[in-house]
A = this chain, B = another copy of it.
Amino acid sequence: MIIQYIFELIGTFVFAISGVLAVRDKENDVFGAGFTGFVTAIGGGSLRDILLGSYPLAWIDDIYLVYTIFIGVMVSYLFSTYLMRLRKTLFLFDTLGIALFTILGTEKALSLGVRVEIAAIMGMFSAVMGGVIRDTLTNTTPILFSKEVYASACLFGAIFYLVLNYFGLSRDINLLLSVAIIIAIRLLAVKYKISLPSLK
């Protein structure tokens, strides 16, 4: 459980950084950048909890999440030029972050007694909605509309987890497997530039 919590903090930390860097080249001051980082980090989980009516929200209940975001924002300020060159590493962390948020979000929804279909949706929302809110605030087309497999990997991973869970796989192994499969899909899609077809 302590490892899971550490991963949650890492995911939150990386989301905060991704939010700050997203507006780095736009016209805005450091405060606006930090604000974006904050909203990116809390957005997905907050939306999930609000949709489920689960209070208090995670970051309001656990101040360490807020501190983690604060540190992530500070790190982005200090090393933004350096971090831009680290995009590959950050991409790996971001992928880890969304994979973990998906499964933890799915589990949280399940624990609140909703149906599995809803749990899968909530898992995906936890992972991608922070980024969607970030992109909406900054007038960018949300990444989940762009060509690389992103939200779909999360939804697939959530369903994968729920199926294994249904067949009674122990939770820790299932968490590990499901997180791994989301990461694998995402990495392969980016490496081989695999996209889902467009509508036209």
Contacts and interface: CB of A to CB of B under 8 A. Distances in A.
Given A31-B152, A136-B136, A136-B137, A80 B199 contact: yes
Contact of A63 (B24, B52, B118): B118
Band of interface residues on A = 35 or more
Interface string A53-92: 1011100100100100000000001001000000000000
A185 interface: no
B199 A66 contact: no
A3 interface: no
A111 interface: no
Interface in A18-42: 20, 23-33, 35-36, 38
A139 B139 contact: yes
Interface in A141-173: 141-142, 144-147, 149, 151-152, 155
A132 interface: yes
15 contacts: A27-B146, A28-B145, A29-B195, A31-B149, A31-B152, A50-B51, A52-B60, A53-B57, A60-B114, A60-B118, A63-B118, A66-B121, A80-B200, A138-B141, A139-B141
